[in-house]
């Protein structure tokens, strides 16, 4: 199955089976709260794949002053769906309804900016951006990734220095990884086909490529198990429509006392722990780089539901459409954007003694 096509189209196919994947055990005991870790507010990035990439871009445009960088995989332009499922299906994954109108999206951005629904242009202009796409992607066409590049070409102060586009010839839709010796075979999908966990066995360490671009020259991790703990925490405290009961965070041992960086990593449709266990939060490659560079990784989790059967992030407005004629999901008033920012706020607070 494809991350976005199956997730959105499954609104009409509620009986669609989830991928058959050998899941790692997920603890059932009541999880603790997300801790306060005094995260360095000047060293935060947001990244995402597929629906998580759309969501990451929404977060970065809404609050650019809070992020040094944005990394996205298999994703199209900001605000592509404009709150309409028809556009999400017909322009933001394929081209059945033609290509997104970037001029119209630019007008949406200007309107949001006048209403203080997104961040300042000057703040957005300073961001570093990494965009990856597979040329064999049949779920979100590569042309849509180029449309996102065109947007940031207009927004960034110096695109030649701040924007990086990486295209992989034989890769499909998903998150490419360079498998370690301890990576379970069941955690990997074919590089050009995707499916399963959507972790693509492409022998490409996309986590390292992204983090080095967004945060500067980092220390390369060793082949040892990353030193830190993968914490399953209670998301109920953030009381947000579409959030699962629990999320994950990888916390290196050195980050217990504060002053570490942070990367918010947003999974794609069908990639949450509910569907594939802990495959993404353990085997994306992010934890190894985080442990070697005093960096926390936050893995929020979306929930499956009747309007969202594949557990996607709200990039087309489903969480807002029941009470807003024109959903503001891609603005500072977005329900899920607000919940994610609350998680970041919690991590940046000083630990209670």
Across 190-218, average pLDDT: 95
pLDDT value of residue 290: 97
pLDDT value of residue 310: 93
pLDDT value of residue 21: 37
Identify the top-confidence range among 12-16, 20-24, 212-216. 212-216
Find where tokens 């394929």 sit.
Answer: 94
pLDDT value of residue 20: 34
Residue 314: band (very low, low, confident or very high) from pLDDT cuts 50, 70, 90: very high
pLDDT value of residue 350: 94
- pLDDT, tens digit, 9 for 90 and up, residues 59-71: 999 999 999 999 9
Residue 80: band (very low, low, confident or very high) from pLDDT cuts 50, 70, 90: very high
**pLDDT > 50? residue 275:** yes
Residue 257: band (very low, low, confident or very high) from pLDDT cuts 50, 70, 90: confident
Across 112-136, average pLDDT: 98
- pLDDT, tens digit, 9 for 90 and up, residues 108-118: 999 999 999 99
Across 263-284, average pLDDT: 97
**pLDDT > 70? residue 193:** yes
pLDDT value of residue 18: 34
Tokens for 175? 């998150």
**pLDDT > 70? residue 72:** yes
User: Which H, E and C letters describe the chain, residue by residue?
Assistant: CCHHHHHHHHHHCCCCCCCCCCCCCCCCCCCCECCCCCCCCCCEEEEEECHHHHHHHHHHHHCHHHCCEEEEECCCCCCCCCCCHHHHHHCCCCCCCCCCCHHHHHHHHHHHHHCCCCCCHHHHCCCEEEEEEECCCCCCCHHHHHHHHHHHHHHCCCHHHHEEEEEECCCCCCEEECCCCCCCHHHCEECCCECCCCEEECCCCHHHHHHHHHHCCCCCCCCCCCCEEEEEEECHHHCCCCECCEEEEEEEHHHCCCCCEEEEEECCCCCCHHHHCCHHHHHCCHHHHHHHCCEEEEECCECCCCCCCCCCCCCCCCCCCCCCCCCCCCCCCCHHHHHHHHHHHHHHCCCCC
pTM for the complete prediction? Answer: 0.91
pLDDT value of residue 56: 98
**pLDDT > 80? residue 3:** no
pLDDT value of residue 6: 44
Across 208-232, average pLDDT: 93
pLDDT value of residue 323: 54
- When the pLDDT of each residue in the chain is averaged and rounded to a whole number, the result is 90
Residue 16: band (very low, low, confident or very high) from pLDDT cuts 50, 70, 90: very low
pLDDT value of residue 5: 47
Residue 319: band (very low, low, confident or very high) from pLDDT cuts 50, 70, 90: confident
């Amino acid at each position: 199955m494809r991350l976005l096509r199956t997730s959105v189209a499954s609104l009409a196919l509620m009986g669609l089976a989830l991928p058959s994947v050998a899941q790692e055990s997920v603890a059932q005991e009541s999880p603790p709260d997300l801790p306060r870790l005094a995260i360095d507010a000047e060293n935060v990035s947001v990244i995402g794949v597929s629906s998580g990439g759309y969501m990451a871009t929404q977060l970065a445009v809404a609050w650019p002053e809070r992020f040094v960088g944005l990394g996205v995989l298999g994703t199209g332009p900001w605000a592509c769906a404009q709150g309409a499922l028809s556009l999400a299906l017909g322009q933001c994954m394929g081209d059945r309804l033609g290509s997104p109108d970037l001029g119209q999206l630019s007008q949406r951005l200007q309107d949001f900016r006048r209403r203080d629904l997104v961040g300042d242009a000057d703040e957005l202009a300073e961001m570093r951006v990494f965009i990856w796409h597979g040329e064999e992607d049949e779920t979100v066409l590569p042309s849509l990734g180029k449309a996102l590049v065109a947007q940031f070409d207009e927004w960034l102060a110096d695109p030649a220095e701040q924007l990086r586009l990486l295209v992989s010839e034989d890769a499909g839709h998903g998150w490419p990884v360079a498998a370690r010796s301890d990576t379970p075979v069941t955690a990997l999908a074919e590089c050009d086909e995707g499916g399963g966990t959507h972790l693509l066995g492409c022998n490409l360490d996309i986590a390292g490529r992204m983090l080095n671009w967004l945060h500067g020259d980092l220390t390369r991790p060793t082949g040892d198990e990353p030193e830190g703990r993968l914490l399953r925490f209670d998301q109920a405290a953030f009381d947000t429509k579409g959030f699962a009961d629990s999320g994950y965070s990888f916390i290196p041992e050195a980050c217990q006392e504060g002053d570490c960086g942070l990367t918010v990593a947003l999974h794609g449709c069908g990639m949450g722990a509910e569907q594939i266990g802990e495959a993404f939060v353990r085997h994306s490659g992010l934890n190894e780089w985080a442990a070697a560079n005093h960096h926390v990784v936050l893995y929020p989790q979306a929930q499956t539901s009747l309007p969202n059967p594949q557990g996607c992030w709200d990039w087309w407005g489903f969480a807002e459409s029941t009470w807003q004629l024109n959903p503001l999901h891609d603005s500072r008033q977005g329900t899920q954007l607000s919940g994610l920012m609350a998680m970041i706020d919690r991590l940046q607070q000083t630990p209670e003694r």
